[in-house]
Amino acid sequence: MKTAISVELIPRSKESLLADAAIAAHYPEVTHLNVTDLERFPMRSVEAVRILRKKYGDRFIYVPHIRAAVPSFNTRAYSGDIALVIHGDDTTPGAGEVVSSTEYIAILSMRIRTMAGLDPYRSSLKSELAYIDEKRKAGATGFFTQPFFSYEHLLFWDSMLPPDCDIFYGVSPVTTEKSLIYWREKNNAVFPPHFSTTLSDQVAFAQKVIRFAKWKGRSAYLMPIRTPLAEYLEKVFA
């Protein structure tokens, strides 16, 4: 498979969305845009993709995040490339009928290419691999992972995954102690003892993951959540 690089965008507003997309468009290495769907912001991911497509056309492959916890996605009204089904852990209780990610993948994959999430911190290795298998059988064509913070951890997971599976390995720069605590407490992320929060080390790690993805025929998924996008991408693709 040809290596792709996706950048995650958060649609806080139309103006900020287009500004971030303009930054990403500057780098030919960026082939995909992942668009989150966070309940605290008024813009939904599918609406954001329509705005991006109107501005950038086929410059990117657009990947809206679709929350299984709020199954209101209208596949007939969406003419995009891919949808990424996530559970939607920020959804307000009672906001909608809850279905499993696997059930929703089965629904969406009948109409459009559907990707799924892979979380190396969610449960045991055996359970997550079984969950991956369930999602593939339901129709998922590939996976976007939660970010890795250790190259050795990424290598281990890569050895566990089928070689024919389309994988986007997640990378998210962690440059503050607050951010490190967030990933540990919110997502049960594991950090190596030698982990460094300097931006230069975070950039070097992203570059290493991209090189590995190219070597293995996988892809990379950059998530600069709290790091200025322009500065991060300029350094990663320097």
- In terms of CATH architecture, what is 5-236? Alpha-Beta Barrel (3.20)
**Per-residue pLDDT at 131:** 95
Instruction: Give the predicted TM-score (pTM) of the model.
Output: 0.93
Cα(45)–Cα(29) distance, integer angstroms = 23
**Per-residue pLDDT at 79:** 62
Predicted confidence (pLDDT) at residue 54 exceeds the cutoff of 60: yes
Q: Which of 56-70, 75-89, 159-173 has the lowest mean pLDDT?
A: 75-89
Predicted confidence (pLDDT) at residue 233 exceeds the cutoff of 80: yes
Each domain of the chain, given as residue ranges in start order, spans: 5-236
Residue 142: Cβ-neighbour burial (10 angstroms; 0-12, 13-18, 19+) = buried
Cα(198)–Cα(22) distance, integer angstroms = 26
Predicted confidence (pLDDT) at residue 129 exceeds the cutoff of 70: yes
Beta bridge mates, 66: 85
- The mean pLDDT of the chain is 91
Is the separation of the CB atoms in 148 and 154 below 8 Å? yes
What residues have CB less than 8 Å from 88, skipping those under 6 apart?
A: 37, 39, 67, 68, 69, 70
**Per-residue pLDDT at 93:** 47
Predicted confidence (pLDDT) at residue 133 exceeds the cutoff of 50: yes
Average pLDDT over residues 168-191: 95
